[in-house]
Structure 1
Amino acid sequence: MLGFAIDWAIAIGVSAIFFNYDPAANLIIFVILQIVFIPTIGASIGHRLVGLRLISIHGGWIGLWRPVVRSLLLGIALPALVWDSDQRGFHDKIAGTALIRQ
Structure 2
Amino acid sequence: MAHRSESPRPDGPRRGEPLITRREMAGWVDGPGSSISRGRWPGDRLGLPESGSTSLARPMRRVGALFLDWFLAYGLAAWLFGGHPMAVLALFAAMHVIGLSLLATTVGKAIARTQVVQVGGASASFGSVLLRTGLLVLVVPLMIVDPDGRSLHDKAAGTVEIVM
Equivalent residue runs for 1:6-85 within 5 Å? 6-85=68-147
For the residues of structure 2 that align with 1:97 and 1:11, how far apart are their CA atoms? 23
The secondary structure found in structure 2 opposite 1:47 is helix
SS at match of 2:162: strand
Deviation at 1:58, TM superposition (A): 4.3
> CA shift at 1:61, angstroms?
2.4
Larger radius of gyration: 2
Find the aligned partners of 1:51 and 1:34 in 2 and give their Cα distance: 15
RMSD (CA atoms): 0.9
Q: Percent identity?
A: 25
Deviations 1:18-43 (A, max 9, x none): 11001111111101100000011111
Unpaired segments of 5 or more residues in structure 1?
none
Instruction: Work out which of the residue numbers 86, 90, 95 in structure 1 matches 2:148.
Output: 86
Compute the TM-score of the two structures, normalised by the length of structure 2.
Answer: 0.60
Deviation at 1:62, TM superposition (A): 1.2
- 1:101 aligned partner: 163
Tell me the distance in 2 between the aligned counterparts of 1:4 and 1:30.
Answer: 10
Q: Which ranges of structure 2 fall in alignment gaps of 5 or more residues?
A: 1-62
1:4 maps onto 2:66 in alignment: yes
Tell me the distance in 1 between the aligned counterparts of 2:155 and 2:147.
Answer: 12
Moved over 3 A (4+): none
